[in-house]
Amino acid sequence: MIKIDLITGFLGSGKTSFIKKYARYLMDQGERICILENDYGAINIDMVMLNDLLGPNCELEMVVGGDGHEAHQRRFRTKLISMGMLGYTRVIIEPSGIYDIDEFFDTLCESPLDRWYETGSVISIVDGGSSKELSPEAEYLLMSESACAGKLVISKLRDTTDPSNVQFSERIVTRLNEAMEKYNCRRRFSTETDVIAKDWETFTDQDFESVRNAGFVHASHVKLPLSDNSDFQSLFYFGFRTDEADIRDRISKLLEDPDAGNIIRIKGFMALSDSEFLEINATKEDLSISSMSKQTEDVLIIIGEKLDKNRIAGFFPGAITV
């Protein structure tokens, strides 16, 4: 049977960056993998960010949304069926940062998928660099995406004086366990057995094997499904062009603008010319802009809660908005 891993994590936690490293390790071990981008949005930027993994032992597939949860789930199932006979040894699924993990388990229980796939590892990427208070809806999402995880992998670690990052781990575990109790989940996390907290650049083969064989935990909790009226939004801005210094300044100011709403993440691409492009990935804690030569769609995506579309559009004059 094909092993299938789910890499969850709240918006901006670093799922795509982690998958890049995990996928390369799996290929080095002789696995033939497919990464399935399973996003509710109509445009999937993360798939473009993974393009450099493409090769004989790695393929990329995508399920997009845009017309409702049920239609999206049907397409997810259909995509897995079409992939089932292609000779993969492992499939890695990266869902949206706003995701009901029950969709994953429910789909794998359906025929014929239950005969072709078996759950490998469920990994939750948890942002260790954020100290801000979460809204109740965001807290619920973090809890629900972590409850079944075989391992918590901490991202954006900043305490260089503490090699074991004990303080980060303890703070995150305490916050998660409080949320578990709040939503009547019996799962409790331990820093000793459930958490990997170290710089991903220093991961050893043993660390990656711990992820590869993490498995998952059956855990139930109070369900608070996100409605169509959720405060979480994704706004798209196409065709905005400027130079690198100016886009960095605009994004920095936008992230600090309280009237724009609670911006959680900005990601996308901007063309400097017909042959030069920038890859942009930003949160309030970190702004990364890097050059790339591959031509791609000229789009910025703003993700957050209670966003003011008109206010944000003012930072990208002339852009086409969706």
Which whole number is the average pLDDT over 66-92? 85
Which whole number is the average pLDDT over 85-94? 94
Give me the domains of the chain, ranges plus CATH numbers.
2-212 (3.40.50.300), 232-321 (3.30.1220.10)
For residue 187, count other CB atoms closer than 10 A to its CB: 19
- Reported confidence tier of residue 133, pLDDT bands at 50, 70, 90: confident
Quick one: pLDDT at residue 265?
Answer: 86
Quick one: pLDDT at residue 292?
Answer: 81
Does 165 or 23 have the greater pLDDT score?
23
| Structure token digits, residue 115 | 């005969």
Please state, in angstroms and rounded to a whole number, the distance separating the CA atoms of residues 6 and 9. Answer: 10
- Reported confidence tier of residue 131, pLDDT bands at 50, 70, 90: low
- Mean pLDDT for the chain? 86
Q: Is the pLDDT of residue 97 over 80?
A: no
Which whole number is the average pLDDT over 213-230? 79
Q: Measure CA 89 to chain center.
A: 22
Quick one: pLDDT at residue 179?
Answer: 93
Does 182 or 44 have the greater pLDDT score?
182
- Reported confidence tier of residue 160, pLDDT bands at 50, 70, 90: very low
Question: For 291-321, what is each residue's pLDDT tens digit?
Answer: 887 767 788 989 888 899 999 999 999 998 8
| Structure token digits, residue 284 | 């309030």
**Closest by alpha carbon to 149, among 185, 200, 181, 117?**
185
Residues 232 and 99 sit within 8 Å (Cβ to Cβ):
no
Structure-derived torsion over alpha carbons of residues 158, 162, 167, 172, reported in degrees to the nearest 10: 40
Q: Is the pLDDT of residue 190 over 70?
A: yes
Q: Is the pLDDT of residue 75 over 90?
A: no
Q: Is the pLDDT of residue 156 over 70?
A: yes
Does 281 or 132 have the greater pLDDT score?
281
Residues 124 and 145 sit within 8 Å (Cβ to Cβ):
yes
Please state, in angstroms and rounded to a whole number, the distance separating the CA atoms of residues 156 and 232. Answer: 23
Please state, in angstroms and rounded to a whole number, the distance separating the CA atoms of residues 97 and 94. Answer: 9
Please state, in angstroms and rounded to a whole number, the distance separating the CA atoms of residues 196 and 182. Answer: 24
Question: For 12-28, what is each residue's pLDDT tens digit?
Answer: 788 888 999 999 999 99
Question: For 235-254, what is each residue's pLDDT tens digit?
Answer: 889 989 999 999 999 999 99
- Reported confidence tier of residue 50, pLDDT bands at 50, 70, 90: confident
- Reported confidence tier of residue 267, pLDDT bands at 50, 70, 90: confident
- Reported confidence tier of residue 166, pLDDT bands at 50, 70, 90: low
